[in-house]
Chains A and B, each alone.
Chain A
């Protein structure tokens, strides 16, 4: 089923619906035009929503006959990486999570020898840590495991 789905259709369907949401909220809730003050908070977004919906529908109709969009299965590596970093971030904090991801990627996906992995990680991770954390004093989040310690 997922293979049959034309993602271009889905995308333009979503943008058309978003446009309608913007029009409804802009026109109804936020105020389109008032006699005393001219355009309200919903004026501009409502117009943009109209334009978006109009062109999305045109493109939606065109997209029925367009080629299927194929996603690469390699993209899953990125999805997996992001998910892993986010989970680790929750547990042990952002910076350690990124370093662990870096090591795992180099070792288990690129299959570099340990010596090379550790060297690259220390150099690159060191630069990142030095610049952002030590120099710029960015307060990176700590994970829940660390707050128990």
Chain B
């Protein structure tokens, strides 16, 4: 009951005129950016973050939340219409969505994606409301040693993001952690790794780094497509609102997968380091098992169930990721990592104390998620014909447009060319890394997580006077230690078992 009254209070914060306006503006911008091929929610949030600088913290974060949320909706548009996933979680969406478009049902595909996104998001938010406060009071027990172990577990789970070669994932993570050590060490106040440059004293800002690694890097692929002369073939289908409406049977077929995938997505979203991409992938894989043979067409060939599962899980995870972000200060994905940067810029410290120290902010944000879920649904349904035009912008125009916004976005984060330099270095490195099959997402995630890991590790040693037993004698750390050992030892054990078996 208390939760509901807190939520109502949150609604009263979020429903102020200014905040609704901010959520609406964030929703529209987020949809547009999310629908732009390749920009996606991570770069989209990073690019639009400077927009929120001039508001008060609550309004700014509400706007950021709705940008984030609408991005998830928008990511599906380009995936469905032109087979270019707007962001990574939309990859699974493109499989069935674009197939439906090819079969002449782009409107239905868009409607299902919107509907499932809404359902998945709603499930995620309801869970967030009822687990958020529980996590918050539990969070007070999280001292330096607990946070250290938690971060170790999170760091290890980054390896789930990495595909076939875990070694390159480790190398990328280490590079990310090393970049985070540049500048002043906040525990001792000592200057380190600045190599005599005063620009490096304050370390590297995350946002231009992301704009470079994600936003600018994709230009190299786009320019190759552009110069190869093969213009992308669009499906020349007119989208009228009437055609987007579903029959009762289609709605029914979309609902059950939306609910199961939404639940699954939310819980994956709560896991640090897993994120929306893993959620949509896992839910899609699960849906394949659940609906085995019972769909009209097989998954991957335009099945409503597959599209619904992917989109619902994606949005459930987007909401779920707010759980660890708000209650523990841990970003569940690259995008929430950007949000974390935004929160910290406002002097807000997501973590154990957020629900206690800034309850109006925390509940206002959660309430605004509900609002932006409804707003996003309304806007995207209404904007379907418009957005189709934006994603049909020729690649030749997209290239200079993206490069321009990369420069402007990177400059705006600290009002200096230093941000632009970081962005450019990130962009070129991202290209080289891609060519050498070194994954970049572990680098970005490790960059975000590692300063928390380092600071807490050293605080834990300081409070215990250098005694390593601090990590053993507390119940929560023990639990994390077991999880950590399982995560490390099980794959190793399995590999050894496999080897032994092969040798027999």
Contact = CB atoms under 8 A, between A and B. Distances in A.
A and B, direct touch (CB closer than 8 Å): yes
Contacts of B465: 36, 38
A132 B410 CA distance: 12
A114 interface: no
A39 B458 contact: yes
Contacts of B417: 89, 94, 141
Contacts of B168: 59
Interface in B148-205: 167-168, 170-171, 174-175, 177-178, 181, 185, 187-188, 190, 192-193
B407 A136 contact: no
Interface in B371-404: 394, 396-397, 399-401, 403-404
Interface string B209-227: 0000000000110011011
B462 interface: yes
Contacts of A132: 50, 408, 412
A98 B171 contact: no
A25 B401 contact: no
Q: Is the interface of B mostly helix, strand, loop or mixed?
A: helix
Interface in B429-471: 431-433, 435-436, 438, 450, 453-454, 457-458, 461-462, 464-466
A101 B404 CA distance: 9
B69 interface: no
A64 interface: no
A27 interface: no
Of B54, B219, B404, chain A has the most CB atoms within 10 Å of the CB of B404
Contacts of B431: 75
Contacts of A35: 466
A138 B50 contact: yes
A44 B454 contact: yes
Interface residues of A, number: 66
B174 A55 contact: yes
A35 B461 CA distance: 11
A118 interface: no
Given A38-B462, A98-B407, A106-B396, A15 B175 contact: yes
Contacts, number: 168
Interface residues of B, number: 58
B399 A22 contact: no
A36 to B, nearest CB: 8
Contacts of B396: 105-106, 109-110, 112
A132 B226 CA distance: 28
B53 interface: yes
A69 B193 contact: no
B18 to A, nearest CB: 15
A89 B400 CA distance: 16
Contacts of A18: 175, 178
A71 B396 CA distance: 21
Interface in B46-70: 50-51, 53-54
A44 B457 contact: yes
Given A39-B457, A75-B223, A105-B399, A48 B187 contact: no
B23 interface: no
A77 B431 CA distance: 14
A48 to B, nearest CB: 5
A69 B193 CA distance: 31
